[in-house]
Amino acid sequence: MNNYLFTSESVTEGHPDKIADLVSDSIAYYLINENESHRAAIETMVSSNMVTIAGEVKTDLMDNKDSIEKLVRETIKKIGYEQENFHWNTLSFKNLIHSQSVDIARSTDNFGAGDQGMMFGYACSENDSFMPSAIYYSHKITKSLSVARHNGQDWMGPDGKAQVTVEYSDVNEPVRISNIICSTQHSEDLKDNPDEVQRRVEKIIKPELNGMFDNNTIFQVNPTGNFITGGPDGDTGVTGRKIIVDTYGGYAPHGGGAFSGKDCTKVDRSGAYMARYLAKNIVASGVSQNATIQLSYAIGVKEPVSLYVYCDGKVRNDISDWIYQNIDLTPLGIIRKFNLFKLDLTETTNYGHFGKDHLAWENTDMVNQLNF
């Protein structure tokens, strides 16, 4: 087989879309308040010195709108936005959140699925995180940039992104990183010194690459030359626009539903977590080198409409039959298994919802049961 290339991207916590995701997750977590009867579906838009939130909720905490505004401002302050045209203290704020539809509430009060839809999970044997390599290294780069900025490298602004191209010799056999594109917002005093920005960025990110780069790897930093105007002043951000960043970097299918801002009766979130759990356990058990799981649901209905298991190029009905018989795939079953109403949703917002060992759906406690 001839070698081939595959590319994925990640973004930093200060990317406009990720600001929107984090605001939505922060508000949803606050309004859910670990109460299984509460519901939230929060959308956020950020632009030049403004934040607008909207959505539907069922909660006893909506009356205190000042607390929500304070939470939004604190969230943006924590990211580090104190720019002239996007400042946590001076931005304009609009709250358009309203009560959940009675029709939707009727379907989810008894923990039927919060919506129809399909969701996918994926895992592979390429590294210890069981994630595809391109998105794995993209996240490592963007996280390292944010950590460096918070640790004193204040020449960087909050906004940034990375794109990694991995060369493969075969499916799930990464050989090397061929290209890295990294854009990071920087201070104005570096506008005439792109080589210095490149040197500083490479010094931060290269230790994260586990020796996967070589002398032929191409590093491109800030390809436009400068990146001074960043964040929502340079680009509007909206909740749910980084769903590929949140999952598998395009290496596996995506059902189309976003995660951020949603309580876990929304199977866009909880179903995707279960699908990842199943896929990871299949690969960790040694059954296959890669596994793709699809689940689908109907709104208000507890049991999934379908379950599909695809491993190493083959449909595995034997595994799907076993899962049906042994795993609770209802929204409430998933919520209880992963304790999702206790989950701090903001822990999932940045650098992917998968591949982080401390998250419950990354547990491989099922591997000894899979004897196929």
Nearest to 181 by CA among 231, 132, 127, 224: 224
pLDDT tens-digit map of 274-302: 999 999 999 999 999 999 999 999 999 99
How does the average pLDDT of the chain come out, rounded? 96
Q: What is the pLDDT of residue 103?
A: 76
Q: Cα 181 from chain centroid? A: 20
Decide: 343 and 264 in contact? Cβ < 8 Å: yes
338: left (phi over 0), alpha (psi -120 to 50) or beta: alpha
Q: Around Cβ 13, how many Cβ atoms within 10 Å?
A: 23
pLDDT tens-digit map of 216-248: 999 999 998 999 999 999 999 999 999 999 999
> Given a cut of 80, is residue 129 above it in pLDDT?
yes
Burial 212-232 (b: 16+ CB within 10 A, else e): bbeeebeeebbeeeebeebbb
Decide: 79 and 231 in contact? Cβ < 8 Å: no
> Given a cut of 80, is residue 178 above it in pLDDT?
yes
Specify the amino acid at residue 323. I
Q: What is the pLDDT of residue 195?
A: 95
Helix axes 267-284, 331-338, angle to 10 degrees: 60
* Percent above pLDDT 70 for the chain: 100
> Given a cut of 90, is residue 104 above it in pLDDT?
no
Q: What is the pLDDT of residue 60?
A: 87
Q: Around Cβ 171, how many Cβ atoms within 10 Å?
A: 13
Encoding tokens for residue 355?
A: 């591949």
pLDDT band of residue 63 (cuts 50, 70, 90) is confident
Q: What is the pLDDT of residue 192?
A: 87
* Percent above pLDDT 90 for the chain: 92
The values of phi and psi at residue 200, to 5°, are: -65, -40
